[in-house]
Structure 1
Amino acid sequence: MAERCSAPSDGDGDDTNAQRAKRRRAAPNPSTQAIDAADLRLLESLFARDVDSVPSDDDTPRMELRDFRFLARGHKGVVYVANYSCAGRTGRVAIKVCRGGGARQEERWLRRCNELGIGASLVSYEWKDCVAMEYVEGPSIGEALDGAVPPGVLFKALRDLLGQCARLDQQGIDKREMNRCQKHVIVSREGRSTLLDFERCQESAKPSNVTGLAQYLTQAWAVGKLRGAGASVDVDAVRAACKSHKKAPSPKTVAAVERALGIKAAPWRSETDPATGRTVFTNGLERRDTWPRPPPSPPQTATSPAGRRRWLRPPEHGAG
């Protein structure tokens, strides 16, 4: 599927490919605001007729999809959102239409990362060009740094993200995009980070997920955003902690990165608010009127065996 682009203006003959691509991204493109006709035919044929025509050999409830809408366009595919209904439940799922075999790669790594409690839950992988997964709603990590969420939620999301990156490092999985992850992480209102786009993952003896994220967060603009939110970022200390983590990854080195970024929370304690005289609870980064609840349990994953042309169950968290 080719993107529609405007004809070059006078004097564009000597432009580089990067300059032309930058100009196309900056220019409004009405075609990206609606679902592409070819993709719509593909989705309707796969998710409407085929789902109803596939015989069922068990009592697994079927998922019906409708109202496909454009969500985002990437380098290798397009993401759409659809409403689903299954066994009396309704919600939304994200459907990624990939190119060049990317769906199989996405499914493979998303399935593996789901086992680690990482990423949007895989709902179904049934056809070579499409992957359906939990629809995660919320601002991206870049928008969160720009102030889309309160500082306490931002710091909690960054700690959660560092923990996920550490688990990927431990398993020898390199996501390869953490140093430019501004659009590949969604932040929830509860401070949970959800990683997206796994088709570029690869096995690595020296994965760089924690160090890549630290590199992203120590850019000048990101340091300014973090300090503006109240974090005491020490760039030199972050680099030293990342160097230690690269040599011998451990929970201690990850905690050192958190401390250097100024996002590591202290234990919760009670104190008296001088303005109101009421008892509040703080961990040095945020204050609450009630004692914080324990963290939620890891999400359950919904997966489908490769090659099975049927839906499994709707996502556990995908309502949005």
Structure 2
Amino acid sequence: MASIKAGFETARKELEKEGKVEYYARGQRSVVYTCTYKGRKSIAKVEKKESNAKFRLENEAKWLKALNKKGIGPELYACGTGYIVCEFIKGKRIAEWLSSAKAGPIKKALLGIFSQCRVMDKMLVTKEEMHRPLKHIILFGGKPRMIDFERCHSTEKPQNVTQFCQFLMSRDIHPILEGKGIKFSNEKLIALLRQYRETPDEKAFLKLVSLLRLQ
């Protein structure tokens, strides 16, 4: 693979030696291609030239290197100026998966997501977009994987756990969970969230998990 200083066009020539590099999707700040990297199906995210948010992919690469050590995010394979190459995460987006899954697998998956959020909170990093992660959490075989860490940043007051709780309380998701028999009081959850914000320790976190009956 091309060196860290090389741009995507140089890296693309290397990727094309293994297989096709094909357009996959377009986001606000990048264009995504599917490719093969060392025999593994991968994606290449390339910064849009017209994007006003520069260095987002460099930021994502930095955080993936740190979070991969904790088992979070797609595995980072390579990166360079304005691009990253990482693991292709297949599966269903979280809202679609919740609608079709049963209560047992849902509880297990939600606990997995909360565990990842808790790890990031302890690292003093906020992923952002966890209050509405419709495109940012993929499930395959019941296992949740987070993607897209372009906006990830350090903070003294991380919000991963609290934002994900907001998602579960939302008008779109709360009824789905209730329909699966996963019932909880928004008011009680909000009260526990206040405690967690004030003292984000393990005791406060476990109270949230207990209210949601995920263990």
Q: Counterpart of 1:154 in structure 2: which amino acid?
A: I
Shift of 1:64: 4.6
Residue matched to 2:75: 121
Indicate if the aligned counterparts of 2:35 and 2:41 stay in contact, CA closer than 8 A: yes
Counterparts of 1:255-274 in structure 2, within 5 Å, are 255-262=206-213, 264-265=214-215
Residue by residue over 1:168-209, the C-alpha shift from the partner in whole angstroms, topping out at 9 and shown as x without a partner, is 1111101121111111011121x3221111111111111111
Indicate if the aligned counterparts of 2:8 and 2:82 stay in contact, CA closer than 8 A: no
Residue matched to 1:95: 44
Q: Pick the aligned partner of 2:30 from 61, 77, 91.
A: 77
Q: Pick the aligned partner of 1:185 from 124, 137, 140.
A: 137
- Structural RMSD (CA): 2.0
Counterparts of 1:245-260 in structure 2, within 5 Å, are 245-260=196-211
Residue matched to 2:51: none
Shift of 1:43: 5.5
Q: Pick the aligned partner of 2:63 from 103, 109, 133.
A: 109
Counterparts of 1:125-274 in structure 2, within 5 Å, are 125=79, 127-147=80-100, 149-189=101-141, 191-262=142-213, 264-265=214-215
Q: TM-score, normalised by structure 1?
A: 0.60
Indicate if the aligned counterparts of 1:142 and 1:182 stay in contact, CA closer than 8 A: yes
Q: Tell me how far apart the structure 1 counterparts of residues 112 and 56 of structure 2 sit (CA, whole Å).
A: 27
**Larger RCO: 1 or 2 (CA < 8 Å, sep 6+):** 1
Residue by residue over 1:214-236, the C-alpha shift from the partner in whole angstroms, topping out at 9 and shown as x without a partner, is 00110122110001112012211
Q: Counterpart of 1:98 in structure 2: which amino acid?
A: E
Q: Tell me how far apart the structure 2 counterparts of residues 111 and 250 of structure 1 sit (CA, whole Å).
A: 25
Q: Counterpart of 2:13 in structure 1: which amino acid?
A: A
Q: Counterpart of 2:12 in structure 1: which amino acid?
A: F
Q: Tell me how far apart the structure 1 counterparts of residues 78 and 42 of structure 2 sit (CA, whole Å).
A: 10
Aligned with 1:143: secondary structure? helix
Indicate if the aligned counterparts of 2:64 and 2:76 stay in contact, CA closer than 8 A: yes
Q: TM-score, normalised by structure 2?
A: 0.86
Per mean C-alpha deviation after superposition, the further-off stretch among 108-117 and 211-220 is 108-117
Shift of 1:70: 2.8
Indicate if the aligned counterparts of 1:238 and 1:260 stay in contact, CA closer than 8 A: yes
Q: Tell me how far apart the structure 2 counterparts of residues 232 and 251 of structure 1 sit (CA, whole Å).
A: 23
Q: Pick the aligned partner of 2:13 from 41, 48, 69.
A: 48
Q: Tell me how far apart the structure 2 counterparts of residues 68 and 228 of structure 1 sit (CA, whole Å).
A: 42
Indicate if the aligned counterparts of 1:162 and 1:254 stay in contact, CA closer than 8 A: no
Structure 1: gaps of 5 or more residues: 1-41, 52-62, 266-320
Indicate if the aligned counterparts of 2:8 and 2:81 stay in contact, CA closer than 8 A: no
Q: Tell me how far apart the structure 2 counterparts of residues 122 and 116 of structure 1 sit (CA, whole Å).
A: 13
Indicate if the aligned counterparts of 1:235 and 1:261 stay in contact, CA closer than 8 A: no
Q: Counterpart of 1:102 in structure 2: which amino acid?
A: R
Indicate if the aligned counterparts of 1:157 and 1:193 stay in contact, CA closer than 8 A: yes
The structure with the larger Rg is 1
Shift of 1:97: 1.0
Q: Counterpart of 1:194 in structure 2: which amino acid?
A: R
Structure 2: gaps of 5 or more residues: 1-6, 49-53
Q: Counterpart of 1:78 in structure 2: which amino acid?
A: V
